[in-house]
């Protein structure tokens, strides 16, 4: 007579944020694996979250909503009596282009030099110079497409502009 013994296995699925782990085996092995997961992965993820930055649409609107609008004509810098530098205006326009794209209002999160010019009426040479400076500082990403060169704001550019506007608002100097 042959007895087939099927060992029972414990199966556990753990989810923490975007991390998901499936653990199976003997109850003792699974318990050890669960403890390892909790002691190694969760503190690492918590630490990584402390140094990670990814601006949500809500955060972008909270930071820059007083300066930008999405209009029927497209993304726009919306300032009344305040004078802002060309750098600030261009960066704000690239941020509103990002918001427009992420909310489904436009098909691209980037703009061409011509689109920036038509939206801001800034001197094309000034726009080109500022975009070159931004690209070197990694505040914008330059990409070659079938439609030509396009520019989109980076996380570093968003952080830079937020710092500039916070300083200017604190000093009441928006030039």
Q: Domain range holding 41? A: 10-51
- Is the pTM for the entire model greater than 0.75? no
Instruction: Report how far residue 56's alpha carbon sits from residue 105's, in angstroms, rounded to the nearest whole number.
Output: 16
The predicted structure's pLDDT at residue 45: 65
The H-or-E segment that residue 117 falls in is helix 113-120
| DSSP letter, residue 118 | H
Statement: residue 112 has pLDDT above 50 = yes
In a shared domain, residues 63 and 145: yes
| 146 belongs to a structural domain | yes
CATH of the domain at 78: 1.10.10.10
The predicted structure's pLDDT at residue 173: 44
In a shared domain, residues 111 and 96: yes
> How does the average pLDDT of the chain come out, rounded?
86
In a shared domain, residues 101 and 65: yes
| 90 belongs to a structural domain | yes
Statement: residue 81 has pLDDT above 50 = yes
In a shared domain, residues 167 and 111: yes
Count of domains for the chain: 2
Instruction: Report how far residue 19's alpha carbon sits from residue 21's, in angstroms, rounded to the nearest whole number.
Output: 7
Tokens of 164: 């500039």
Those residues whose C-beta lies under 8 Å from the C-beta of residue 66, and which sit 6 or more positions away, are none
In a shared domain, residues 62 and 100: yes
């Amino acid at each position: 007579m042959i007895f087939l013994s099927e060992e029972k296995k414990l199966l556990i699925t753990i989810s923490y944020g975007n991390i998901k782990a499936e653990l199976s085996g003997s109850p003792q092995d699974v318990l050890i694996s669960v403890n390892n997961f909790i002691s190694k992965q969760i503190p690492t993820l918590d630490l990584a979250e402390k140094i990670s930055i990814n601006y949500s649409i809500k955060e972008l609107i909270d930071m820059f909503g007083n300066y930008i609008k999405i209009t029927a004509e497209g993304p726009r810098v919306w300032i009344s009596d305040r004078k802002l530098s060309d750098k600030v205006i261009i960066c704000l326009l690239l941020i509103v282009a990002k918001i427009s794209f992420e909310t489904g209002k436009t098909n691209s999160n980037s703009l061409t030099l011509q689109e920036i010019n038509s939206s801001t009426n800034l001197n094309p040479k000034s726009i080109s110079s500022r975009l070159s400076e931004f690209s070197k500082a990694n505040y914008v990403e330059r990409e070659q497409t079938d439609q030509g060169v396009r520019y989109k704001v980076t996380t570093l550019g968003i952080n830079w502009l937020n710092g500039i506007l916070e300083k200017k608002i604190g000093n009441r100097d928006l030039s």
